[in-house]
């Protein structure tokens, strides 16, 4: 009986930790997304590189870009959709949205992968919370004999 509580406790701690980590990522990305949407300015830049990560059957696509804002050069890398990875080649001009008060904070325009990631992370956090609630409910129900 005590072993069951310990195992349940371990799972709860692991799931809550994972949920908090994902929630932190969601909040950070949503904050950047919101700031860029409200205060961002568009500048022209260009694609400077690309990389594709393959893990088993899934692939992640990243594009590196550079741009200038207030006379200074900046660069960044962003995960993009497969469609944009294929369409945007090296040295291709692109539109970038950045913050004037912090120009290093920037995202490629016309790619909504970040928004989809935020939704996906939020879904994972909800699922983790439901799992924790299920574990706790199971422990409570099994601790009282019927």
Positive/negative CA dihedral, 64, 88, 116, 97: positive
Contact indicator for 109, 95 with CB cutoff of 8 Å: yes
Helix orientation angle between 2-39 and 113-143, rounded to the nearest 10 degrees: 160
Per residue in 57-109, pLDDT (tens digit) is 889 999 999 999 989 999 999 988 888 899 898 999 999 999 999 999 999 88
Is 77 exposed, middle or buried (CB count within 10 Å of its CB: 0-12, 13-18, 19+)? Answer: middle
Where is average pLDDT lowest: 6-20, 43-57, 63-77?
Answer: 6-20
Phi/psi of residue 89, each to 5°? -95, 175
**Any idea where the domains of the chain sit in the sequence?**
21-134
Q: What is the mean pLDDT of the chain?
A: 82
Give the Cα separation of 121 and 132 in Å (integer): 17
- Residue from 131, 129, 87 nearest 111 by CA: 87
């Amino acid at each position: 009986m005590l072993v069951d509580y310990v195992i349940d406790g371990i799972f709860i701690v692991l799931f809550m930790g994972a949920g908090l980590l994902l929630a932190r990522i969601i909040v950070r990305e949503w904050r950047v997304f919101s700031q860029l949407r409200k205060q961002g300015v568009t500048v022209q830049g260009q694609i400077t590189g690309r990389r594709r990560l393959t893990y088993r059957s899934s692939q992640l696509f990243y594009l590196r870009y550079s741009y200038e804002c207030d006379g200074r050069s900046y660069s960044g890398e962003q995960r993009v959709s497969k469609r944009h990875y294929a369409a945007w080649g090296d040295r291709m001009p692109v539109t970038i949205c950045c913050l004037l008060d912090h120009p290093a904070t920037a995202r490629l325009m016309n790619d909504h992968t970040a928004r989809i990631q935020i939704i996906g992370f939020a879904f994972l956090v909800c699922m983790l919370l439901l799992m924790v609630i299920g574990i706790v409910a199971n422990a409570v129900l099994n601790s009282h004999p019927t």
